[in-house]
Amino acid sequence: MNNSKMVGMPQYNPLESMMSRFNQAATILGLDDQISNVLKSPDKVVIVNIPVTMDDGSLQVFEGYRVVHSVHLGPSKGGIRYSMDVHLDEVKALAAWMTWKCAIVNIPYGGAKGGIKCDPRTMSKGELERLTRGYTLAMKDVFGEDRDIPAPDMGTGQQEMAWILDEYSKIRGQNSWGVVTGKPLVMGGSQGRVEATGRGVMVSTRGALAKLGIKPTDATCVVQGFGNVGSISARLISELGVKIVGISDISGGYHNPSGIDVEAAIKFVANSSTRSLEGFTGGSKVSNAELLTLHCDVLVPAAMEDQITAENAADIKAKLIVEGANGPTTADADPILHQKGTLVVPDILANAGGVTVSYFEWVQNRLGYYWTEERVHRRADRVMKMAFDNVYQTAEKYRVSMRIAAYIVALDKVASTLKLRGKF
């Protein structure tokens, strides 16, 4: 449903986008309404207000959320997002997507997501630390190595995970390495975690190009978003031989039909005071809207939700869309892309490399035995390839898009587990 008429509300609601796909898959599976209702409702919704002393001495209150969608397959798992756009329906959708994602890659986790309404780019390191510790304290009875395990998402990274680990360990009176993933290497992080999501996007792109009969060295690609997922996806996809002809971030889009030097762009962002592509001269400036409809074979949306909609789906030239971001395509765009024959590798499959290596990190923390980068990559690539093949075959079997097939795989698994565990 389009909420554009509601003043102050986002135009699209990611929770409704999720529900629309859920309902299609549930109908195909013949899932009974009672089980569907359980799977649609989050197990737990926690809202906290976190007072933080700012550097100027003032006291500000920040609203934080944690939604645990499901623990049927194992402890819940999901990132924490810092953004002014965070709202409860978004966190609920992201939490449910985590449940489906973990089921698709066959790891023993349920789904959760957290968020704090804040603008991390305008906050000092000290303010961010106090906010993160306050959030952890408020969530001390939600988080837990065998209960609910956070990770990074938009606006958070290794430093926030280190603060969460430290604060939680102090509360418990012992180091709890496995309570959070995406930690720095020296604090029990895993080799390969930083690259994991982008690497999974690359493995999905490689698999989908093979299905389409396109040689990577003949292909061009546009990537929207140049943070953790976008920049690493761009680098690894370019290493396949694909020419990256467009990149973008919050500062806008950059187009170069002769190919963008991705390494130079990554260095540019790392050295820029704004931590963005603002001022990058390796491509001509285009708007983010123009970027999505550039001529290319592969489009990787890796920024945020609701970028490909019924308004622009018909204008998208890419034959293949590999969703690095969560929820970049709205439900009303799905049929337009499907009818055009655009192959879409959906978010809950394409970006599942991140949670897969988060799981490996947690396993290593529990074992106290750490793997080499080569082992992490090999195992994660195998998981992603198996999940891709399973979803692709399911799409062929039911004659549906890969997105609906991914929901079918996930719902089938979670619903059968729920039935076996029993209802009350």
**Among residues 127, 153, 195, 361, the one that binds ligand NAD under rule CB under 6 A:** 153
Tell me: does residue 260 bind ligand NAD (CB under 6 A): no
# binding residues, ligand NAD (CB under 6 A): 25
Contact assessment for residue 294 and residue 258, using Cβ atoms and an 8 Å cutoff = no
Find the part of the chain contacting ligand NAD (CB under 6 A) among 183-191, 255-263, 323-331, 332-340.
323-331
Tell me: does residue 115 bind ligand NAD (CB under 6 A): no
The separation between the first and the last C-alpha atoms of the chain, rounded to the nearest angstrom, is 33
Residue numbers 361-420 binding ligand NAD by CB under 6 A: none
**Among residues 142, 201, 302, 384, the one that binds ligand NAD under rule CB under 6 A:** 302
For 211-329, strand residue ranges (E) read 220-224, 243-249, 252-255, 284-286, 298-301, 320-322
Eight-state DSSP code of residue 268: H
Tell me: does residue 75 bind ligand NAD (CB under 6 A): no
Residue numbers 155-194 binding ligand NAD by CB under 6 A: 155
Q: Per this entry, what is the length of the chain?
A: 424
Contact assessment for residue 203 and residue 195, using Cβ atoms and an 8 Å cutoff = no
- Which of 197, 205, 298 shows the shortest CA–CA distance to 243? 298
Kind of pairing between the strands at 243-249 and 252-255? antiparallel
Find the part of the chain contacting ligand NAD (CB under 6 A) among 41-49, 141-149, 161-169, 302-310.
302-310
**Among residues 229, 244, 411, 414, the one that binds ligand NAD under rule CB under 6 A:** 229
Measured CA angle at 74 (ends 424, 305), to 5 deg: 100
How far apart are alpha carbons 333 and 189 in whole angstroms? 38
Kind of pairing between the strands at 320-322 and 298-301? parallel
**Among residues 325, 349, 383, 408, the one that binds ligand NAD under rule CB under 6 A:** 325
How far apart are alpha carbons 18 and 133 in whole angstroms? 31
Find the part of the chain contacting ligand NAD (CB under 6 A) among 28-36, 40-48, 224-232, 379-387.
224-232
Tell me: does residue 24 bind ligand NAD (CB under 6 A): no
How far apart are alpha carbons 44 and 271 in whole angstroms? 41
User: Of these residues, 77, 92, 113, 183, which one is catalytic?
Assistant: 113
**Among residues 99, 176, 197, 329, the one that binds ligand NAD under rule CB under 6 A:** 197
User: Could you give the strand order of the β-sheet that contains 59-70, starting from the edge strand earlier in sequence?
Assistant: 44-53, 59-70, 110-117, 76-83, 148-152
- Select 154 or 316, whichever has its Cβ closest to ligand NAD: 154
**Among residues 17, 191, 224, 365, the one that binds ligand NAD under rule CB under 6 A:** 224
Question: How many Å is the Cα radius of gyration of the chain?
Answer: 20
Tell me: does residue 357 bind ligand NAD (CB under 6 A): no
How far apart are alpha carbons 97 and 347 in whole angstroms? 9
Contact assessment for residue 251 and residue 266, using Cβ atoms and an 8 Å cutoff = no
- Binding string, residues 274-293; x marks residues near ligand NAD by CB under 6 A: --x-----------x-----
Tell me: does residue 205 bind ligand NAD (CB under 6 A): no
| 243 included as an active-site residue | no
- Select 170 or 385, whichever has its Cβ closest to ligand NAD: 385
Find the part of the chain contacting ligand NAD (CB under 6 A) among 28-36, 123-131, 151-159, 392-400.
151-159
Tell me: does residue 95 bind ligand NAD (CB under 6 A): no
Provide, rounded to whole angstroms, the least separation between the CB of residue 402 and ligand NAD.
17
Eight-state DSSP code of residue 178: G
Find the part of the chain contacting ligand NAD (CB under 6 A) among 33-41, 131-139, 213-221, 320-328.
320-328
**Among residues 64, 134, 152, 246, the one that binds ligand NAD under rule CB under 6 A:** 152
Q: Where are the alpha helices (DSSP H) in 173-247?
A: 193-212, 228-239
Work out the number of other CB atoms within 10 angstroms of the CB of residue 140.
Answer: 12
Contact assessment for residue 14 and residue 3, using Cβ atoms and an 8 Å cutoff = no
**Among residues 249, 306, 334, 361, the one that binds ligand NAD under rule CB under 6 A:** 249
Tell me: does residue 250 bind ligand NAD (CB under 6 A): yes
How far apart are alpha carbons 143 and 289 in whole angstroms? 39
Catalytically active residues are 113
List of residues contacting ligand NAD (CB under 6 A): 152-155, 197, 224-230, 248-250, 276, 288, 302-304, 324-326, 351, 354
